[in-house]
């Protein structure tokens, strides 16, 4: 029988044999792991993991598992386990298969889940409050400055505790807050997906050939936060034209330069800057990635992305081609599809059940769609910036060459480096880390580069008879058909999730980072690792979208459907296998991308910085 390699059969990538030194012992494959089915979580972890960034697996998985298995007691599923091999994160879900055990858990699950569903909106309001609280807390964590002497005030207020004490406490506070944010993240999310799974399964039973997209379109929200950052940019572009300061938004202009020029433009400049300041908080906290790597920065961290988009929008306003999202039409379309399927059901009873399930989905979906902005975007970009500030401190004392190097250390290693710094500052000697960490950091950076070229098998271990975990099916789209395509890959065909219907042929433009959108030409097909709301301006120029990461409810999928262009998402490796300039056919009905002519250059575009 054909199958996937066993975890024990995966050899070390030559030149990066020491990859294990970057990751905690509890992420290593064990001999008995050969008996289970694992798949590569390319959706969240498309790149080799820098040592610190493994917290984005460690902490989310302890949060997801405890919420499903222990807090709500989902009857059919426990938690998710993860392992790291050659820098890549593999996961497996622990389903509950024994019917008696399912029944025992169901008795506990019923009242717990019902409490959330029945009080959903009120609980969601409270949830937003708690998340804003966590965001305030992470922003207010102070990074000790470690001056030569403590200020006199420390003495006169009899503080008694010196700053070096707070090094560890405050760093650990960051991790503590990150963990809390993730517990809240999964607190409501798994129930939200539960409602979606149930509606989805009803639809596929009633209409066996219904596409994932059609189900998603009946449920999708119209006024969701995800569109807000892009809406703000359109508003700012219109304002710039209205105030007659649009000349400052020229192609390739430096954002800092533009902002300082605006201060010389009198009242108009001031009015625009006020509007800009208002839009930035919170809407520019949107991430250029999806929050699983430290280099996923927010617009506020790096203004080049929103300013590149602004330039395009200003030009569109002047050309009279900038249109708002047709929300009324989208709403009508969503209702037309839902009533179309409803009318094809065989009885009034089924229609009533359909109404209940769809209603429940629409109740939970504002959370499902908006939570990312609070967690992965707003909170997480603040979290990484704070950790980076500790990195800057370590760099100032010579422990690291530069602030970003802190992400090459595991969080427990950062603890050690901070202890070292604390001792050295107290003793009046240089920290010993200055000779210890820099060679380790350099070696890890080198290994990550080597590991980047490894093509991880999509799955490991024996093929399961049945895929029983709803999270695995819904979040990662791992179905029997998917496993089949992994087992029998086609040489010139890239397989992913059919996210938006239609078939289109054209020239590929592979962009690894949203900063490269300037190179995109009208009518090209975008091939990218993942899209986030900050990519929205791209969609006006392209005729199809292909991404490495994402499911039928991902950002690229939703935006592509709104623009009516074909999209294939969650391909895993489209950005590796397709080159800029290749002629490709995107089949958004079947979820495949075929390379028709490999004209593309073999050079990669610039990789996302690490």
Partner 1 sequence: MTELTQPLSEAGGAGVAGVAGGKGASLGELARAGIAVPDGFVVTTAAFTAALAAVDPDGSLRASVEALPADDVPLIAERAGAFRERIRAAPVPREVAAAITSAYAATLRSPDISDMSPEEPDPGVAVRSSATAEDSAGASFAGLADTYLGVRGAASVLEHVRRCWASLYNDESVAYRRRIGVPETGLAMAVVVQRMIAPRAAGVMFTRSPVTGDRSVVAIEGTWGLGSALVAGDVTPDSFAVSKVTGEITARRVSAKERLHAYSPGAHGVTVSETPEHLRREPCLTDAEIVALASAARRVEAHYGVPQDIEWALLDGDAPAESRVVFLQSRPETVWASRDAAQIATPLPRPADHVLSRFTRPL
- Give the footprint of partner 1 on this chain (CB under 8 A): 74-76, 95-97, 99, 102-103, 106, 109-110, 113-114, 117-118, 191, 194-195, 197-198, 201-202, 205-211, 214, 217, 337, 340-341, 344, 346-347, 349-350, 352-357, 359-360, 363, 466, 468-470, 473, 501-503, 587, 589-590
Instruction: State in angstroms the smallest separation of the CB of 232 from partner 1.
Output: 31
| Between 357 and 451, CB nearer to partner 1 | 357
Instruction: State in angstroms the smallest separation of the CB of 455 from partner 1.
Output: 29
| Between 209 and 328, CB nearer to partner 1 | 209
Instruction: State in angstroms the smallest separation of the CB of 206 from partner 1.
Output: 5
| Between 203 and 310, CB nearer to partner 1 | 203
| Between 118 and 492, CB nearer to partner 1 | 118
Dump the DSSP string for 328-339.
HHHHHHHHHHHH
| Between 81 and 350, CB nearer to partner 1 | 350
Task: Return d(Cα 460, Cα 472) in angstroms, integer.
Answer: 15
| Between 117 and 563, CB nearer to partner 1 | 117
| Between 6 and 337, CB nearer to partner 1 | 337
Instruction: State in angstroms the smallest separation of the CB of 479 from partner 1.
Output: 12
Nearest CA among 355, 369, 366, 358 for reference residue 218: 358
Question: What 3-state DSSP class applies to 594?
Answer: strand
Instruction: State in angstroms the smallest separation of the CB of 466 from partner 1.
Output: 8
Instruction: State in angstroms the smallest separation of the CB of 205 from partner 1.
Output: 5
Task: Look up tokens 């990635």; give the residue.
Answer: 289
| Between 75 and 221, CB nearer to partner 1 | 75
Nearest CA among 501, 512, 519, 504 for reference residue 574: 512
Task: Look up tokens 């520019």; give the residue.
Answer: 284
CB count, 10 Å around CB of 112? 13
- Report the run of H or E that residue 606 belongs to, with start and end: none
Instruction: State in angstroms the smallest separation of the CB of 528 from partner 1.
Output: 24
| Between 68 and 170, CB nearer to partner 1 | 68
Q: How far is CA 12 from the centre of its chain?
A: 28
Instruction: State in angstroms the smallest separation of the CB of 118 from partner 1.
Output: 6
User: Can you list the alpha helix ranges (DSSP code H) found in 207-265?
Assistant: 212-219, 228-242, 255-262
- Can you name the residues that pair with 545 across neighbouring β-strands? 526, 567
Counting Cα atoms < 13 Å in the Cβ hemisphere of 349 gives 0
Task: Return d(Cα 590, Cα 502) in angstroms, integer.
Answer: 9
Task: Look up tokens 């300041």; give the residue.
Answer: 277
Task: Return d(Cα 418, Cα 531) in angstroms, integer.
Answer: 36
Instruction: State in angstroms the smallest separation of the CB of 202 from partner 1.
Output: 6
Instruction: State in angstroms the smallest separation of the CB of 198 from partner 1.
Output: 5
Tell me the three-class secondary structure of 495-550, residue by residue: ECEEEECCEEEEEEEECCCHHHHHHCCCCCEEEECCCCHHHHHHHHCCCEEEECCC
| Between 153 and 343, CB nearer to partner 1 | 343
Contacts of 227 (CB under 8 A, 6+ apart): 325, 533, 536
In b/e form, how buried is each residue of 535-552, taking b as 16+ CB within 10 angstroms? bbbbbeebbbbbbbbbbb
| Between 343 and 412, CB nearer to partner 1 | 343
Gyration radius from the chain CA atoms: 25
Residues 420/424/429/433 CA torsion (nearest 10 deg): 20
In b/e form, how buried is each residue of 454-463, taking b as 16+ CB within 10 angstroms? bebbbbbbeb
Instruction: State in angstroms the smallest separation of the CB of 350 from partner 1.
Output: 6
């Amino acid at each position: 029988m054909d199958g996937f390699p066993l975890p024990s059969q995966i050899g070390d990538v030559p030149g990066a044999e020491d990859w294990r030194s970057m990751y905690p012992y509890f992420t290593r494959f064990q001999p008995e792991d050969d008996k289970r089915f694992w798949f590569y979580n390319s959706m969240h972890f498309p790149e080799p993991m820098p040592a610190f960034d493994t917290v984005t697996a460690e902490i989310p998985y302890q949060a997801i598992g405890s919420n499903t298995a222990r807090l709500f007691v989902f009857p059919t599923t426990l938690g998710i386990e993860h392992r790291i091999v050659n820098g890549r994160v593999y996961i497996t879900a622990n389903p509950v298969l024994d019917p008696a055990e399912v029944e025992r858990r169901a008795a506990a699950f019923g009242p717990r889940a019902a409490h959330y569903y029945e009080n959903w909106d009120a609980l969601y309001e409270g949830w937003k409050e708690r998340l804003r609280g966590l965001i305030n807390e992470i922003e207010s964590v102070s990074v000790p400055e470690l001056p030569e002497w403590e200020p006199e005030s420390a003495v006169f207020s009899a503080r008694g505790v010196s700053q070096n004490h707070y090094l560890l406490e405050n760093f650990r506070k960051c991790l503590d807050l990150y963990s809390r944010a993730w517990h809240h993240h999964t607190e409501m999310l798994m129930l939200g997906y539960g409602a979606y799974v149930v509606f989805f399964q009803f639809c596929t039973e009633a209409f066996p050939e219904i596409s994932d997209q059609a189900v998603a379109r009946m449920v999708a929200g119209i006024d969701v936060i995800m569109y807000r950052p892009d809406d703000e940019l359109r508003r700012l572009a219109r304002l710039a034209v209205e105030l007659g300061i649009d000349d400052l938004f020229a192609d390739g202009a430096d954002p800092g330069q533009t902002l300082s020029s605006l201060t010389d433009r009198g009242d108009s400049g001031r009015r625009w800057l006020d509007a800009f300041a208002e839009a930035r908080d919170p809407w520019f906290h949107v991430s250029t990635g999806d929050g699983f790597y430290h280099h996923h920065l927010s617009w506020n961290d790096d203004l080049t992305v929103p300013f590149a988009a602004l330039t395009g929008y200003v030009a569109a306003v002047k050309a009279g081609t900038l249109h708002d999202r047709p929300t009324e039409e989208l709403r009508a379309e969503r209702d037309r599809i839902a009533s179309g399927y409803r009318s094809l059901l065989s009885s009034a009873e089924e229609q009533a059940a359909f109404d209940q399930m769809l209603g429940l989905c629409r109740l939970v979906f504002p959370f499902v769609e908006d939570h990312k902005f609070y967690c992965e975007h707003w909170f997480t970009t603040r979290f990484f910036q704070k950790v980076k500030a500790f990195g800057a401190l370590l760099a100032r004392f010579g422990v690291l060459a530069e602030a970003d190097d802190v992400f090459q250390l595991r969080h427990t290693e950062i603890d050690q480096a901070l202890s070292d710094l604390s001792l050295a500052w107290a003793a009046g000697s240089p920290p010993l880390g200055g000779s210890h960490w820099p060679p380790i950091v350099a070696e890890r950076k080198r290994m990550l580069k080597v590991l980047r070229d490894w093509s991880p098998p999509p799955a490991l271990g024996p093929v399961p008879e049945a895929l029983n975990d709803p999270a695995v099916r819904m979040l990662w789209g791992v179905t029997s058909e998917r496993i089949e395509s992994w087992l029998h890959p086609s040489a010139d065909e890239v397989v992913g999730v059919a996210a938006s219907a239609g078939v289109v042929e054209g020239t590929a433009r592979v962009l690894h980072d949203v900063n490269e959108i300037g190179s995109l030409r009208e009518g090209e097909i975008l091939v990218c690792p993942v899209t986030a709301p900050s990519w929205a301006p791209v969609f006006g120029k392209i005729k199809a979208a292909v991404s490495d990461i994402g499911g039928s409810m991902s950002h690229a999928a939703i935006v592509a459907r709104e623009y009516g262009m074909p999209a294939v998402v969650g391909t895993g490796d489209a950005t590796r296998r397709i080159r800029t300039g290749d002629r490709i056919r995107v089949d958004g009905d079947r979820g495949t991308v075929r390379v028709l002519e490999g004209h593309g250059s073999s050079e990669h575009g610039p990789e996302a910085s690490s």
